[in-house]
Amino acid sequence: MKNPGVSSKDFNSKRSTPMQVLVRKEIAAHIRSWRFIILILLIVLTFGAALYVSSMGLKDAVSNMRDPDQSFLYLKLLTTTDNSIPPFHVFLNFLAPLLGIALGFDAVNAEYNNGTLTRLLAQPIYRDNLLFAKFLAPLIVVGTLFVALVMLMIGGGLMGTGVRIEPQELLRILGFTLISVLYVAFWLSLSILLSIRFRQPATSALTAIGIWLFFTVFFPILVNLAIRPFLPNPNYISEQEYIGYNELILNLLRLSPSQLYTDATTTLLMPSVRSLGPITMEQMVGAIPSPLSFRESFLMVWPQISGLTAAMMICFAWSYYIFMRREIRS
Amino acid sequence: MKDPIIQLTGLTKTYGKFTAVDKLDLHIYPGEIFGLLGPNGAGKTTSILMMLGLTEPSAGTAYVCGHNATRNPIAVKRKVGYLPDNVGFYPDMTALENLCFIAELNGLTKSLAQTSAKDMLHVVGLEQEMHKKTGSFSRGMKQRLGLAEVLIKAPEVAILDEPTLGIDPKGVDEFLELIKQLSREHKLTVLLSSHHLHQVQRVCDRVGIFVGGKLLTQGSIESLAQNLQQQEGVSTVITLERAPDTQRFKEALKVLPGLRKVSINELSVELKTDSDATAAAVRILVNNGADIVAVSRNGYQLDDIYNTYFENSITTHTAYEKSRGFFKRFQ
């Protein structure tokens, strides 16, 4: 038998760390799976449709002199719509969770049920390596997909219109991509957590979809229902109190990751958005309706980004905790 | 004697109030094939998982290849190949890809992994199926592939958990022969667990009988038989032509050394003695005018070993087989 330590005199190929091997295998498995091909088709189709609609209305949007964002052609390309279909970033608000869930819901329990987990963990690798590979590989794939899409869009826009892209626009679009990947990462880590918690892939997928539906459909209704009984008649309270209540509702809504994502992407893609809550007339006095700089927009969404990151980290840490202590026998 | 390569001291695992493995002490020496025998649910798999550091023992230590399996599992896993009882592969990858993946995880370079994976597939006789997806593999083929995977990391110890389960008799023969041959060729220490005494008998140098979380006895099959013989005595059955004179024969046979029990039925005399006394018994009977047509002497066979040690669990054995999935969590 060959001893790998002695006979590996092959200088052409490098020895890779277990982590690299795991990630490579995961990526290969994802790319080859039908599930991922369908998801890609879905995303590309949505992206194409949204882009088509926006490019149709682009001329009006760019020549609309009352719009302070009218000079940002590429941002307009991402956000303009004639209301027949929502713009891409709103679409992604629905699709990204689906992407995350689909790529992670059977990450651990499928290995478990296949009998491959015991075999894998009997190899000289650390348990957390496996978990991290399960998390990292889909993100690399999704990140590549998103970056490729926006690059294609920018390239297409450059060729089609011949308008130079502002560095600011590029930064904003990359920021949008980053936040989208982060949003997918949150749902991915949640679904990995569920895939460790539940033995059956179907159960974990259903639970993940349940959580997703709860946050997108029921959570806003629930917040409304919960707040309304305590809300005094707006006619009898001061403006200050009114704003306070409004702020409270918004903050409650921000417990939902999809609200955080919407806030963050809207701010980044529409430079004229200067506040995510209500603004009083006093605050607006003297303000010129002009776009914010990238740095200011970015600072504005910083809480949203950290909120999403924190939610993702909590899910990941939790799954790490239960996976490390889990009996691995099938 | 050489230092043991697997050294378990007081190894215990409890799940709540249930004790899966109870103070297991076991030494396995380099180069031997050790069979861990026991009915399902005896704690074999749990012990194995503790040796690999995949399950934390409640008490006691497991040293494998000189490393503490609980504290330093990576070092142990580098030197130990493990074939789990229900081995599975990624169904969308071919046999070769599955094998290369494991080889690379063990630190082989890509090209080296490729060549040694091909070698191993030849060794286990799967070269024809190299590029087939493992989703279509039969149980026996999966076991072979599993063995190839154990061997590809060039281990010092191979731990095979129920390697013969679910393979047809011919497949079992070939598989065990392969294990034996590989163990001899590569000076590999093999620990295999099974509940099929008959299969294990053919390949194991030593066996340990493991029931209800306890190691009842260990040693070579011959020494186990000898022990049993000392405990239970030798039984001799002498068949006569005519109905015997019961009282007279019984009196006469009393002079036999180490006699434990005489029972006389219609045409046969059954004796239990400490050691073999067949010849003396026959002589006494002939002298007393008996016409003997047949004599049979029972040495202790595997079935007896099996029955004696598994007595309590043997009745439920078939039930275990069928509802394996249910009982497995106690195993």
Contacts of A16 in chain B (CB under 8 A): 104, 109-110
User: Quick check: A9 pLDDT over 60?
Assistant: no
- Containing A258, the helix (H) or strand (E) segment is helix A257-269
Residue B316: its pLDDT value, please? 44
Cα radius of gyration rounded to whole Å, chain B: 25
Q: Would you say domain B234-297 falls under CATH 3.30.70.2470?
A: yes
Query: Could A29 and B92 be called an inter-chain contact, meaning their C-beta atoms sit closer than 8 Å?
Result: yes
Highest CATH level, class, for B6-89+137-219: alpha beta
pLDDT tens digit sequence for A51-109: 888 888 887 877 777 777 777 888 888 888 877 888 888 888 888 999 999 999 999 99
User: In chain A, which residue's Cα lies nearest the Cα of B53?
Assistant: A122
Beta bridge mates, B288? none
Residue A157: its pLDDT value, please? 86
Query: Could A330 and B86 be called an inter-chain contact, meaning their C-beta atoms sit closer than 8 Å?
Result: yes
CA dihedral defined by B26, B27, B32, B35, rounded to 10 degrees? 0
pLDDT category, B312, cuts 50, 70, 90? low
Residue A241, CB half-sphere, CA atoms under 13 Å: how many? 9
What is the arithmetic mean of pLDDT over B47-60? 90
Residue A173: its pLDDT value, please? 92
SS3 state of residue B21? strand
Under 8 Å between Cβ of B108 and A2: no
- Domain range annotation of chain B: 6-89+137-219, 234-297
Residue B47's closest CA among B143, B196, B162? B162
The answer, yes or no, to whether ipTM is higher than 0.95 is no
Quick check: A280 contacting B, CB < 8 Å?
no
User: Quick check: A214 pLDDT over 90?
Assistant: yes
Quick check: A37 contacting B, CB < 8 Å?
no
**% of chain A residues with pLDDT over 70:** 92
Contacts of A29 in chain B (CB under 8 A): 90, 92-93
User: Quick check: A216 pLDDT over 80?
Assistant: yes
Under 8 Å between Cβ of B112 and A7: yes
Residue B288: its pLDDT value, please? 82
Residue A190: its pLDDT value, please? 96
CA B144 to chain centroid, in Å, comes to 19
Under 8 Å between Cβ of A123 and B106: yes
Query: Could A114 and B90 be called an inter-chain contact, meaning their C-beta atoms sit closer than 8 Å?
Result: yes
Residue A137: its pLDDT value, please? 95
pLDDT category, B311, cuts 50, 70, 90? low
Residue A253: its pLDDT value, please? 87
**% of chain B residues with pLDDT over 70:** 90
Residue A169's closest CA among A81, A269, A286? A269
Q: Is the dihedral of CA B60, B64, B66, B71 positive or negative?
A: negative
pLDDT category, B163, cuts 50, 70, 90? confident
pLDDT tens digit sequence for B261-274: 788 877 788 887 77
CB pairs under 8 A between A and B: 105
pLDDT category, A330, cuts 50, 70, 90? low
Mean pLDDT of chain B: 83
Residue B299: its pLDDT value, please? 61
Residue A37: its pLDDT value, please? 92
Q: Please spell the DSSP secondary structure of B43-74, one letter per residue.
A: SHHHHHHHHTTSS--SEEEEEETTEETTT-HH
pLDDT tens digit sequence for B118-158: 999 998 888 898 899 998 998 888 988 999 999 998 899 99
Under 8 Å between Cβ of A190 and A215: no
Residue A6: its pLDDT value, please? 44
pLDDT category, B330, cuts 50, 70, 90? very low
Point out the least confidently predicted range of A70-74, A155-159, B49-53, B67-71.
A70-74
* CATH topology identical between B6-89+137-219 and B234-297: no
Distance between first and last Cα of chain A? 31
CA dihedral defined by A9, A15, A21, A25, rounded to 10 degrees? -50
Contacts (Cβ under 8 Å, ≥6 apart) of B31? B183, B187, B188, B189
pLDDT tens digit sequence for A269-309: 888 777 777 666 676 677 777 788 888 888 889 999 999 99
pLDDT category, A8, cuts 50, 70, 90? very low
Quick one: tokens of A174?
């990359």
Region of residue A32 (left: phi > 0; alpha: psi -120 to 50; beta: else): alpha
Residue B331: its pLDDT value, please? 41
With a CB-CB cutoff of 8 Å, which residues 77-116 of chain A face chain B? 114-116
Burial of A329 (0-12, 13-18, 19+ CB in 10 A): buried
